[in-house]
Amino acid sequence: MRFKKSIAIISALALSLSVFSGCSGGEDNAPSDDNNADANTAAAEETAAGEKSADDGINAVFGEIRTEFNENLDLSDYPLTPNDVPDGYEAVCEAETAALTGSCAAKDGGDMTSGGGYVDGLNQEGDSITFSVSCEYSGFYDLNFPTMGDPGRVNYVEADGERIGEITTTTKESFGDSMVMNVYLEKGDHEIKLLPYWGYVYVDCLKMTKSTAVTEDTYKVTKALSNPDADENTQRLYKFLCDIYGKYSLSGQYAEKGRESSEIQKLRAETGKDFAVLGLDVGNYSLGSKAHGTESRTVEYAYDWYKNGGGIVQLCWHWTTPEEYAKNDSENPWYSSFYKEGSNLDLDKIMNGEDEKAYQLLMDDIDNMAEQLKRLCDAGVPVLWRPLHEASGGWFWWGNCEAESYKKLWNVMYDKMTNEHGLTNLIWVWNGQSQDWYPGDETVDICGWDIYAGNRVYSAQSGRFADLANNYGEETKLVALTENGCVMDPDKVFEGNSRWLFWGTWSDPFTLKLGVVINEEYTEKTILNKAYNHERVLTLDELPDLQNYPLD
């Protein structure tokens, strides 16, 4: 996770020092940045010189403008894989009788455990607990590993040698549920293995029960957008997302220069396709970044992707700390101040009124970012808006606090951007990565999760999907894989009934190696081609005309 974000820092710094050419729009309502006088002057001089028309400029920079759309997308229901596991089914495998490696050892547990024993020593590489199970039925199981230890400790689960998810320890004084839900297993023998990630937990047993976590109702999202005043283009996009949910997944990729990016060029050359959802970062618009002279054309790239390319835009915000609270020293330079180590912000004090100065600086920065998003709003560009991400991990300053402080900040941002600034183009995507950090159904439209599962891990991560679909709020929400390292195998996604709305692969090193070639360290080309050409994965050419998508 931290390595991935280090790449983001380097990219952001490079972006801030780059000189961009071209302009994103030939239309009167294309976004412009009145504060960027040099860029506007250069663009005006270029046009006056007659070097190229607006449309030629777009084609030269971004490639051909899309003119054909898919008007015959099959939106009939795509049936779920049946579950033959009978109601009330339960099987228990004791950890102390499982195959143990490394420092794992059986201990006497007495009445605290299901079978009188437990396993200690799942601590580091080389340690493992392997349960041999024989399934009587093909179908979906919930796998529960009662554990005890420091709450929040995460450890890996494999089935037949493939990593399928993670479990999280919740209790320290007794054995509590730690589950991976909605795991599909064929009838027959299987090996279920626990491996340490954070380690240092006690494990009681494996309990297998029938999973009812995902049903047809999971994919029936009928709730309107959280903002009742959302504009028509935003409603059209949301309606399309609801219509395809459970029937298709949208391909996605982070690519900091939009259609200029190496990612789109290399992926197109390899797969013959372009991704549908473009991921971009608005961090260089932050006041803390602008204080160091950063520039950004993220708004222009977003405009072009939607208006001229016909695609969907997801924006995240690596929010650099306001200058007065950034450490900005040799170990923590300003451009890494979205990390807690680079920030002096104390969000608990800020949100409970103890630091009014810092509160006002954050409000100023929200106002500042709202101005950039307003440019897209005025141009009619809807945005999948994903701020304050991965909070519960604690590595960003907005997660270095109590959950309540984070939720207050989320809801203040929502209120300011929606009600004060009148942004009608935002579809609010939350992925705070913990149920305790969920800010509430009324300010969330899509629930997301960021998964970096390792190298060449193509499973559907069904436990995370089922958890998001079932345990976050009271309303049924769209569920998306907002960031990923490996591209999932679409067959496993759909056969496993864990149908993520879209995925968004991070850039270097997960897609490209040094921005030059496809990096097969994480996703092999065979899987990449399979995903981009799968009948249940939508690429850019397969999208309908979203600007005219029917609302009825």
* Residues annotated as catalytic (active site), given as ranges: 390, 483
Q: Say which DSSP state 488 is in.
A: P
Q: With contact defined as beta carbons under 8 Å apart, do 95 and 114 qualify? A: no
CA dihedral for 324, 325, 326, 328, sign (positive or negative): positive
Mode of pairing for the β-strands spanning 446-451 and 426-430: parallel
Q: With contact defined as beta carbons under 8 Å apart, do 298 and 531 qualify? A: no
**What amino acid occupies position 357?**
K
Q: With contact defined as beta carbons under 8 Å apart, do 388 and 443 qualify? A: no
**What amino acid occupies position 163?**
R
Q: Specify the DSSP element, H or E, that contains 162.
A: strand 162-168
Q: How far apart are CA 142 and CA 527, in angstroms?
A: 27
**CA-wise closest residue to 256 among 214, 222, 291, 298:** 298
Q: How far apart are CA 232 and CA 380, in angstroms?
A: 9
In b/e form, how buried is each residue of 403-436, taking b as 16+ CB within 10 angstroms? bebbbbbbeebbebbbeebebbbbbbbbbbbbee
Q: Say which DSSP state 248 is in.
A: B
Q: How far apart are CA 280 and CA 297, in angstroms?
A: 10
CA torsion, ordered 519, 524, 529, 535, to nearest 10 deg: -130
Q: Which residues on adjacent β-strands are paired with residue 430?
A: 447
CA torsion, ordered 44, 50, 54, 60, to nearest 10 deg: -110
Cis peptide before 490 (omega within 30 of 0): no
Q: Which two tokens stand for residue 185?
A: 């297993």
Q: With contact defined as beta carbons under 8 Å apart, do 131 and 119 qualify? A: no
Q: Which residues on adjacent β-strands are paired with residue 194?
A: 129, 157
Give strand ranges (E) for 66-161. 90-94, 99-101, 105-108, 117-122, 128-135, 139-144, 147-148, 154-159
Q: Which two tokens stand for residue 322?
A: 């306001």
Q: How far apart are CA 246 and CA 536, in angstroms?
A: 10
Q: With contact defined as beta carbons under 8 Å apart, do 151 and 171 qualify? A: yes
Q: Which two tokens stand for residue 366?
A: 């929200």
